[in-house]
Chain A
C-alpha cells in the first residue's frame, strides 16, 4: 500500500495531478484561515487572516535567497578538498 502511494507520487506521469492537488491544498488552507475564530490574538499579525501563508512564503524565499547570497558572495562555500593538503 505504502509502496504504491510512493510510486504514484514519484511517477512523473502523475506530476500534473499532484500539482493540482497541491494548489487545492494551498487554497483550502488559505481560505480556512479566514474562517477560524481568533481568540488568542496577541499581536497585530495574529489578527490578519492569511498572515501565516504570507509569512511562510516570504520566509522561504528570504531564507533561500539570503543563504545562497551569503554562501556564494562571502566565501562560505568552498571546494570539497578545501581542508585537504
Chain B
C-alpha cells in the first residue's frame, strides 16, 4: 500500500496527456486531475514521506503538516475552479502550463528541503510565463519576457541564499531560519519576497498579470504570491522587517489602484495590498497573526480568483479592459456583476463574507502584539480596498456612463466557476469553523462580536459615503502609472545609452592611447628583436638543431633498409640475446 501520494504527480504527469485528448474527453480529463488532487489532500495526514538521496543530500518531497495541508487544500480547490473557468479554451498549451504551475506550487508546499523547494519554485515561474505569452499580443510577449527575467533574478537570489545557508548550517531542511542578518538570510528573504510582490520588487506582478490570457491570469492571481506567503510563514515567522514591508504594501497597492485605469491591473494592485496583510502577519509572528496570514491567504485565493474571473468575463465578452472604455454593462451582464460583487464584498471584509473572518485576524494580531499604528494603517488600507474593488471598479465597469457596448453573459462554464468561488466566499464568511480547524495553530478568535461588526460596517459604509461624495474626482483617466518596472523598462535605455556613449567613446579613447604610446614602443622593440635576436640567435639555434637531425637521419637510413628479412634477423638476434641474458643470470644465482 502506498502510504502517501504527492498531488503534483497528477498535475505534472497528468498534464502531459492533455495535448493528445480532444473535445469532451479532454474537458472531462481536465476536471478529473484537480478532483484527484483535492481527494489526495483530503486523505492526507501529517508525516514525512518520499525521501531520496541525491548528490549526498536527502531530498524530501513530502513534508506534510497542518500548514502545508491547508495551503494544498486551497491550491487544489482553486485549480478546479480555474480549470472549469477555462474549459472553453481550445489551447492545450495553456491547460498544460496551468497544471504544471499548480504542480510547482504543490511541490513547494510539500518540499521538506530547500533544493526540492527551489526546483519546484523555478517550475512555477517557467510554467506560468506561458499563460502570459499565450495571449499572443505584442504587449503580452514583452511583459512575459520581463516577468521571466525578474523571476530568474529572484530565483538566483533564493538559490544563492540556500547555498550559503547550507554551507553555514550544513542543513537544507525547510524550517525557520535564524534572524542573524547574514547574507544567506537576506538573499533567501529577497528571493521569497520578490515572489510575494513586496515593493519595490513587485512590479513584475502588475506588469504581467493584466497581460495574461483571461483564464491564465485567474491561475496567476492565485498561486505565485500565495506560495511565497506559505514559504514566508514556514521560514521567516517573526521577522520584524516584514511587519513594515507588509504595511507599506497594503497601502502601496491602494494608492496605485486609485490611479489605475485597466481593470485587471487595478485588481493586481489589490493583490499586492492584500498580500501585504499576510506579510505583516508573518512579521508579527504570533500564533494569532500567523493563523491570520494563512486564513487570509486561503480566503484571498478564492475571492481574488473570483474578481479576476469577473473582470476576465467582461474582457472576454467586450474585448476591453479599460474603465474609460467600459460602463453600463449591468443591463446585459447582471449575473456577472452579482458574482463579481460577492468577490468585492469578500475582499472588503463585509460581515458574512470570507474576508471578514480572515483579514480581521491579522489586524487583531497586530493589535494584541502592540502594533497599534500597524493595525490602524491596515484598517485604512481595507477602506481603500472597498473603495476600489467594491465600488470604483464595478461602478465604472457596470454602471457609470453607458458605453453602448452590446455584451452578453459569458459562457456557462465561466459562470459556474464564478458561482463556485462565490459560494465558498460566502460559505467561509458564514461558517468560518471548518477553515479555522484547518489552521496551523488552535484558534481562539471570534470574528462575530457586536463591536467588530458595527465597527467594520461603519468603516465600510462611510467609505462608501466618501466615494459617492468624491465620485467626480475618481473618474478614471486614460493613463498608465509609472512603477518600479520603470527601472528595467526605461532604465535599461539609460544603461544602453551609457554603453553606447560614454563607454564606447571611452573605449575608443583608451584604444587611441594604446596606439599612440604602447603600440609604437612595442613595435620598435619587437623590430629590434626581429632583426637581432630572431635572425642571429633563434634562427641559428633552430638551424643547428635541424642540421644535427639531418645527419642523424643519414646514419639511420643505412640500417633501415626496409627489407623484411633484415628486420626479422635483427629481431631474432635481439630475442636470442635477451633470453641468453636471463638464462645466464639464472645460472649465476645457482
Chain A contacts for B467, CB-based, 8 A? 60
Query: Could you say which of B259, B367, B452 has the most chain A C-beta atoms within 10 Å of its C-beta?
Result: B259
A3-B450 Cα distance, complex, nearest whole Å: 33
A80-B476 Cα distance, complex, nearest whole Å: 13
Interface residues on B, range: 35 or more
| Per-residue contact bits, chain B 34-52, to A (CB 8 Å; 1 contact, 0 not) | 0000000000000000000
Which chain A residues numbered 57 to 76 have a C-beta less than 8 Å away from chain B?
57, 59-68, 70-71, 75-76
A33 with B458: in contact, given A59-B383, A68-B258 (CB under 8 Å)?
yes
Contact B367 A59 (CB under 8 A): no
Chain A residue nearest to B255 (CB atoms) is A67
Which chain B residues numbered 425 to 465 have a C-beta less than 8 Å away from chain A?
449-465
Contact B254 A63 (CB under 8 A): yes
Which chain B residues numbered 351 to 380 have a C-beta less than 8 Å away from chain A?
367-368, 372, 375-376, 379-380
Chain A contacts for B337, CB-based, 8 A? 6
Chain B contacts for A46, CB-based, 8 A? 451
Contact A2 B335 (CB under 8 A): yes
Chain B residue nearest to A33 (CB atoms) is B454
- Say how far B402's CB is from chain A's closest CB, in angstroms: 10
Contact B387 A30 (CB under 8 A): no
- Say how far B444's CB is from chain A's closest CB, in angstroms: 12
Which chain B residues numbered 530 to 579 have a C-beta less than 8 Å away from chain A?
none
Q: Choose from B330, B450, B457, B480 the contact partner of A80 (Cβ within 8 Å).
A: B480
Which chain B residues numbered 457 to 485 have a C-beta less than 8 Å away from chain A?
457-468, 470, 473-474, 477-482
In the complex, whether B331 has a CB less than 8 A from a CB of chain A is: yes
Contact A60 B481 (CB under 8 A): no
A36 with B461: in contact, given A42-B367, A43-B367, A80-B479 (CB under 8 Å)?
no
Contact B330 A26 (CB under 8 A): no
Chain A contacts for B375, CB-based, 8 A? 43
Chain B residue nearest to A82 (CB atoms) is B480
In the complex, whether B334 has a CB less than 8 A from a CB of chain A is: yes
Contact A10 B461 (CB under 8 A): no
Contact B459 A42 (CB under 8 A): no
Contact B380 A55 (CB under 8 A): yes
Chain A residue nearest to B330 (CB atoms) is A10
A59-B334 Cα distance, complex, nearest whole Å: 30
Contact A64 B466 (CB under 8 A): yes
A51-B458 Cα distance, complex, nearest whole Å: 8
Contact A56 B458 (CB under 8 A): yes
A6 with B255: in contact, given A37-B450, A53-B459, A82-B482 (CB under 8 Å)?
no
Contact B463 A51 (CB under 8 A): no
A53-B463 Cα distance, complex, nearest whole Å: 8
Contact A39 B451 (CB under 8 A): yes
Q: Choose from A26, A36, A45 the contact partner of B450 (Cβ within 8 Å).
A: A36
Q: Choose from A39, A63, A70, A78 the contact partner of B383 (Cβ within 8 Å).
A: A63
Contact A64 B258 (CB under 8 A): yes
Q: Choose from A38, A42, A57, A66 the contact partner of B466 (Cβ within 8 Å).
A: A57
Q: Choose from B334, B454, B480 the contact partner of A32 (Cβ within 8 Å).
A: B454
Contact A56 B463 (CB under 8 A): yes
Chain A contacts for B244, CB-based, 8 A? none
Contact A39 B334 (CB under 8 A): no
A2-B459 Cα distance, complex, nearest whole Å: 27
5 closest Cβ contacts across the A-B interface?
A: A52-B458, A60-B466, A56-B459, A67-B258, A36-B450
Residues in chain B within 8 A of chain A (CB atoms): 254-256, 258-259, 330-331, 334-335, 337-338, 367-368, 372, 375-376, 379-380, 383-384, 387, 398-399, 449-468, 470, 473-474, 477-482, 489-490
Known contacts A52-B457, A71-B258; 13 additional CB pairs below 8 A are: A10-B330, A33-B458, A36-B453, A36-B454, A52-B458, A53-B461, A55-B379, A56-B466, A63-B387, A64-B470, A67-B256, A67-B259, A71-B479
The 22 listed contacts between A and B (C-beta, < 8 Å) are A2-B338, A3-B335, A6-B330, A26-B461, A33-B454, A37-B451, A54-B458, A56-B466, A59-B380, A60-B467, A63-B255, A67-B258, A67-B259, A70-B255, A75-B482, A76-B482, A77-B259, A77-B477, A78-B481, A82-B480, A83-B489, A83-B490
